[in-house]
Amino acid sequence: MLHLSTLLLSHFRSHKLARLTFDQRPVAIYGNNGSGKTNILEAVSLFSPGRGMRRSSALDMTRRPESLGWQLQSDLVRDKHVHQTKITSDEGAARRVLIDDKPVSQLALGEISRVIWLVPAMDRLWIEGAEGRRRFLDRITLSFFPSHAEASLNYEKAMRERNKLLKEQIRDAHWYRAIELQMAQTGIEIHTARMRALDLIQNAQGTAATEFPVAQLTLEQSEGDMPTLVDDLKSALEESRLRDMAAGRTLVGPHRTDMIGVFQRKGVLAKDCSTGEQKALLISMILANARALKEQIGTAPLVLLDEVSAHLDNQRRAALYQEVCDLGAQAWMTGTEIDVFQELGDRAQAIQVTDANGLSTCTQHDTCLI
């Protein structure tokens, strides 16, 4: 099983120093709004590739007014092997990852640890712009395929170079060939990984005994179908140069894809569902992500659920807790009151977070029956 057995936060956000210990059970974190609950979840999210659940800079995570930099440490347990993991940032510098005292890449961290999350900002996923849905899908894809991050970075870099040429009205094809080839290669890699991730999510939803609705998911391109072969995407980029030059940006590729969700049982687009139904669809996808990962890597990921009880009735909330426990995941959940976690009883451990003058304090409890 994958879990954190210890967690130390030093000068991280509102936490000056917190030392926490855990077993394999889920973790219920409760306290007033602004007390520092979500800061703990953000710290855990950094034990996976990427910028964490808030996508903040290292400088933004440092505690003020000290601004000394910050440090996270954990005994990260995977299949009974303990990986002593440290993540640091000195005075706002890019974060460094050490495992067993050796510097490692984000990719290496992703091979050991997988973390997925659902936060309140995602509640509007279905009714806001396509960019947020692509980011959500890319997080899911990254959880299955850690190399997805590198492909995405390389694609974005090449696209920035191409967009610069377009804005400068460069018409010489020679300047575009190498850039467009790289965009085509990485673009198809991105699209293929996204499609594979959606298939895994769909299968995990369809085969599970769950109280949550199935989300039927598809990828759509804003203009025409997304090419599936490198040569086809390369040709599409070549053919679109004049149109792109007029727009000043690239109008073809995986950065133009949108994820469309449908409440399968009702046949209703997710964007047209009620607020509660939209939340239930998101939870269904996160649980499916966790189940599919468990099937793929042999262990459930760390699951972060911030203010998860919002928009859930008592029946759905109890169902969520049961599915989390059945999954065997160390899920980290937040709420303002311990009462929302009563159904978990001794199946979970609890942390009360209090705040005084911007300084968070954590008190641990062995059960949620407080």
Mean pLDDT across 331-337? 96
What domains are there in the chain, each with its CATH number? 125-300 (1.20.1050.90)
User: What's residue 12's pLDDT?
Assistant: 96
119-143 pLDDT, tens digit per residue, is 999 999 999 999 999 999 999 999 9
pLDDT at position 65 is 83
- Give, in degrees to the nearest 5, the angle at Cα 231 between 226 and 234: 70
Distance of CA 125 to CAs 134, 237, 298, Å? Answer: 10, 29, 30
241 Cβ contact list (under 8 Å, min separation 6): 166, 171, 173, 176
**Amino acid letter, residue 290:** A
- Is the pLDDT at 310 greater than 80? The verdict is no
Quick: pLDDT tens for 222-246: 777 788 899 999 999 999 999 999 9
pLDDT of residue 327: 94
- DSSP structural state of residue 105: -
Measured distance CA(205)–CA(202) in Å, rounded: 5
What is the tens place of the pLDDT at every residue in 63-113?
A: 988 878 999 999 999 988 999 999 999 977 888 999 999 999 888 898 899
Nearest 5 degrees, angle CA 287-CA 291-CA 296?
Answer: 145
Residue 38 pLDDT > 80, yes or no? Answer: yes
CA pair distance 294, 282, nearest whole angstrom:
18
The beta strand positions in 90-186, using DSSP E, are 96-99, 102-104, 115-118
Q: Cα angle at 297 between 136 and 301, to 5 degrees?
A: 50
Distance CA 156, CA 203 (A): 30
Which residue in the block uniquely carries the two structure tokens 């309140």? 120
